[in-house]
Amino acid sequence: MRIIFATSNEGKMKEIRAILKDIDIELLSLKDLGLNPDIDENGNTFEENAIIKAKTIMELTGEIVLADDSGIEVDYMNKAPGVYSARFMGEDTSYTIKNQFIIDQLKSAKEEERTARFVCAIACAFTDGEIITRRGVIEGQIARNICGSHGFGYDPIFYVPEYHCTTAEMSPDQKNEISHRGKALREIKEVLKKHL
């Protein structure tokens, strides 16, 4: 069975391929299909945006489509950047700048005020119009310094106390095992297995 993953984010796609590697599907990215759609992600929640992406590409291709909408919620910043995580400070601003900005915002924050979470909503749009979503969350803190070079985006400032490191310091397998994306996608995998 062919399934399209509607993302243009290479970092996400790498993790998605690893998490879905044990099911018998041909997984194609937008890049594999030569598609570069400009989708207006105007939803208010991660689920709404994931549905917009999955539905748009399902209608364009006529195939089963998965989509991921995710981001980081920083409690000290009133849960920003949230659904705006990719667009925060401008889509083309480097993550070194974005990550340092967040660290600076929390300069006066007490230890217990440094809480944050990664959230991931995955939507699956079937060709008969049915759409399902699953959400995964990982709780953590904003690190005091940028640390680690694995992963992408906000990983170098997302500190997981239980592991004493940021998600950018974890191996890819370790991150996938505990991450928001890993949790949401493993639930979707069970739904897909039933569908298969």
> Which amino acids are annotated catalytic?
69
H and E: helices and strands count for the chain? 5, 8
Phi, psi of 20 (to 5 degrees): -100, 10
Among 154, 160, 176, 183, binds ligand ITT (CB under 6 A): 154
69 binds ligand ITT (CB under 6 A): yes
Among 152, 163, 174, 189, binds ligand ITT (CB under 6 A): 152
We find the least distance from the C-beta atom of residue 148 to ligand ITT, in angstroms, to be: 11
For ligand ITT, give the closer residue by CB, 135 or 151: 151
**CA separation for the pair 138, 179 (Å, rounded):** 6
Cis amide prior to 81 (ω within 30 degrees): yes
CB 98 within 8 A of CB 104: no
| Interacting residues with ligand ITT between 107 and 126 (CB under 6 A) | 118
β pairing state of 131-142 and 115-125? antiparallel
155 binds ligand ITT (CB under 6 A): yes
Give the up-direction half-sphere exposure of residue 32: CA atoms within 13 A in the CB hemisphere. 13
47 binds ligand ITT (CB under 6 A): no
For ligand ITT, give the closer residue by CB, 70 or 141: 70
* Segment near ligand ITT (CB under 6 A); pick from 56-64, 108-116, 153-161, 185-193: 153-161
By CB under 6 A, the count of residues binding ligand ITT is 20
CA neighbor of 141 nearest in space, from 160, 169, 124, 128: 160
Which residues in this chain contact ligand ITT in the complex, by CB under 6 A?
7-9, 12, 41, 68-72, 85-86, 118, 151-155, 179, 181
